Structure 1
């Protein structure tokens, strides 16, 4: 079993582990597994070993929260000497002259960036594949690892690295976390400070990890919030359970519903008050999400991509985004935010399924039409996007296994702004009483 990030960093700080050897072992695991898993777009073998040696020589080694920890970074952020590919051959491939804020924070904490993980083009879909490969679920390789942070999830769930960076605009951390049996946290809006917000403020950075403690540690670094690394035991909370798919009310597979019931039972036994209740999502919330899902990638594509070189599905999506961008407004978001605030006056935490369907299969989705991609994307992500629009923190955590497939059944925990520590504390309680298998 691969050591956790917490264990690695503690041992490196104590002089019990050498960062170079830790990195060498991670690279060996990547070489052995990634031909099947397809997690990485680029493995930085020589660069990572050199960086690990630099970490080992740092005078502040015994103070670094991620000392010597191998980390995978989603292929959407600047890393010195690399280009951010965004899953596309249509963008610039000029190497970055300096790190972006995410790589800066990881390096400052002592992490070693071993590679850039696979994403769908412009991070539009919850399936991560490109002409170079398919990010597969390490537990059930016939299924996708999810998206758009699917490569990061696959890298962690396969044990290649203990933690990975992701981004989440409509569920892109939580969906792959749920599919691969990981802890994935989307922090609230503004928790991870960066020069510009993506997708009209809906997208943010967050961690993927096999344990709650590892997710908390990486979150503390990404958000420059050391306090988040220390997980406390929550006071009794008012927890609402809901298995109603927002707005469209589609049928929910029974194993996904049972995970919510199981989480409620476990947390009630821990002293929390648990009731059934569903927020008033409203049709306007769905319209606001769809318009941003179109318009966000369209604005991104216009800012530096050759539209003629985009994949066929992406060109269709971008054209639709050009048409719908005029309809993006704060009115629907404000109305939804008011309803969400009203719901959380009576409840402290909401628990739903993370996924609304089983994961899509692993295949070359980038060769298929826009409609073929969009239909499974919309179905599987029914529970997640509303909380990006609201800017609320939300976390996915495994609670059980599917009876037919070797897949996790996961739940989404949602709290009002500032609730990241609470969500991590509740996830730790679930992990303590109902632990999950850490990696394949």
Structure 2
């Protein structure tokens, strides 16, 4: 395997298992690409050059190499999960610069499967926003460097889209996997509650946050999810046609969805219909109160994560976000509003197996110092471009972002697939069918000057 960079995780692992290439060679090639490109992209907060090479040698010496599903595969980890020997800064100057004593269970499972952690990726402060920038760097969309990669798993999505790693670990509390994946043209799945160990921050944002994969192919997303879940159950699905509802409207009242995203959802619906699925236009019965419910949970999660940190070291937008959340925290802890939302939406998912929507309402905001801007300006920017994702964190149901089509700027467009609890395998299968019928370019052309989008 001469081209060690640009291969999928499945291809790399197969080549390592068959002794066509060593883990050190693979990791070294990806570290070289990171060194060459990341100054422009800003995906990484820390790169583990010496440790990653040493760990690659350890993988190569393992006696069970032939059985490792991610043998020698370089992986990036979002900087809100502990990685042994590395500090966890969560995008903030207020967090301690102290090495973690042990890996998060999701990181440990990746390592056990043969993956090598090459670095920790940039996030917005306390992972609270849909754009990634702050004291540790700004993550840009590799397809259009004038635009943010999204957030809060923005660095992880950018690293995968730029080919600096084939897969990355992120997590999703209100869309934090799906938003940057949709921006950067990569695949992700937010698993349902309990499928993958969470353990994110101080209480998983009241149980809404889930760890999940970012990848360039559905096969890699499925492979990584099976490792994270510790089971092949996510690979399984019952063959046959599905009933698919297509909804083009925003769940949040007053937010409109731009034409490229509605067009993508319509075209994806047509392909699923041609594949034999029953596809109909239907909108879930979103309550008018959804915007307030989303805001309450979003801010309350940050208020919990900010406890114990020196507020003077937090940025203004984070301080305000946490202060607003403290007013909501008591009501959020009861779980009443989330349970009411589930009851309201369950009849819809009794009628339909899968919901297909646009992944975003419009392209991501311009990259810039959003952490230095006011809270209201950040709220408006986040809500207006990413209203499609929060309902499925509130319900705890699985949801995917799948690249589909392109924006006028040439950057990727995307659709979202949502299912009832336990439907991860079904969503991945539908995503595979979309990928087969409408393949996407896996890696952004970052080796040549970026094309800037129109204002």
Which band: TM-score by shorter chain? Answer: over 0.9
What residue number does 2:132 align with?
Answer: 128
Matched, 1:367 2:372: yes
Tell me the alpha carbon deviations over residues 176-197 of structure 1, each in whole angstroms, 9 at most, x when there is no partner: 0000011111000111124574
Q: Is the 8 A contact 1:288 1:332 kept in 2?
A: yes
Tell me the alpha carbon deviations over residues 279-335 of structure 1, each in whole angstroms, 9 at most, x when there is no partner: 111023332221111111111110x42122101111111111112212313222111
Task: Report the CA distance between 1:362 and its aligned residue.
Answer: 0.7
Residue of structure 1 aligned with 2:385, choices 380, 392, 397 = 380
Aligned residues: 437
Tell me the alpha carbon deviations over residues 342-371 of structure 1, each in whole angstroms, 9 at most, x when there is no partner: 101110000001101221111111111111
Q: 2-side partners of 1:195 and 1:275: how far apart?
A: 38
Task: Report the CA distance between 1:250 and its aligned residue.
Answer: 2.4
Larger CA deviation: 384-393 vs 129-138 = 129-138
Q: SS of the residue aligned with 2:257? A: coil
Q: Is the 8 A contact 2:149 2:184 kept in 1?
A: yes
What is the correspondence of 1:206-245 to structure 2 with a 5 Å cutoff? Answer: 206-228=212-234, 230=235, 234-245=239-250
What residue number does 1:333 align with?
Answer: 338
Task: Report the CA distance between 1:241 and its aligned residue.
Answer: 0.3
TM-score, normalised to structure 1, is 0.97
Q: Is the 8 A contact 2:106 2:197 kept in 1?
A: no
Matched, 1:422 2:426: yes
What is the correspondence of 1:316-327 to structure 2 with a 5 Å cutoff? Answer: 316-327=320-331
Q: SS of the residue aligned with 1:141? A: strand
Mind listing any 5+ residue stretches in structure 1 that lack a counterpart? none
Q: Is the 8 A contact 2:253 2:291 kept in 1?
A: no
What residue number does 1:269 align with?
Answer: 274
Q: SS of the residue aligned with 2:211? A: strand
What is the correspondence of 1:256-295 to structure 2 with a 5 Å cutoff? Answer: 256-295=261-300
Q: CA RMSD in A?
A: 1.3
Q: Is the 8 A contact 2:198 2:209 kept in 1?
A: no
Tell me the alpha carbon deviations over residues 229-268 of structure 1, each in whole angstroms, 9 at most, x when there is no partner: x476841000000011114142211110000000000000
Q: SS of the residue aligned with 1:436? A: coil
Q: Is the 8 A contact 2:251 2:290 kept in 1?
A: no
What is the correspondence of 1:44-193 to structure 2 with a 5 Å cutoff? Answer: 44-193=48-197
Matched, 1:35 2:43: no
Q: Is the 8 A contact 1:139 1:407 kept in 2?
A: yes
TM-score, normalised to structure 2, is 0.94
Q: SS of the residue aligned with 1:325? A: helix
Q: 1:195 to 1:401 in 2, by over 3 A?
A: closer
Q: 1:206 to 1:195 in 2, by over 3 A?
A: closer
Matched, 1:431 2:438: no
What residue number does 2:14 align with?
Answer: 10
Q: SS of the residue aligned with 1:129? A: coil
Larger CA deviation: 277-286 vs 78-87 = 277-286
What residue number does 2:449 align with?
Answer: none
Deviation >3 Å, runs of 4+: 194-197, 230-234
Task: Report the CA distance between 1:57 and its aligned residue.
Answer: 0.4
Q: SS of the residue aligned with 1:207? A: strand
Larger CA deviation: 105-114 vs 127-136 = 127-136
Q: 2-side partners of 1:209 and 1:194: how far apart?
A: 19
Q: 2-side partners of 1:251 and 1:62: how far apart?
A: 51
Q: Is the 8 A contact 2:75 2:168 kept in 1?
A: yes
Q: SS of the residue aligned with 1:166? A: strand
Q: 1:409 to 1:234 in 2, by over 3 A?
A: farther
Residue of structure 2 aligned with 1:201, choices 189, 207, 215 = 207
Matched, 1:410 2:414: yes
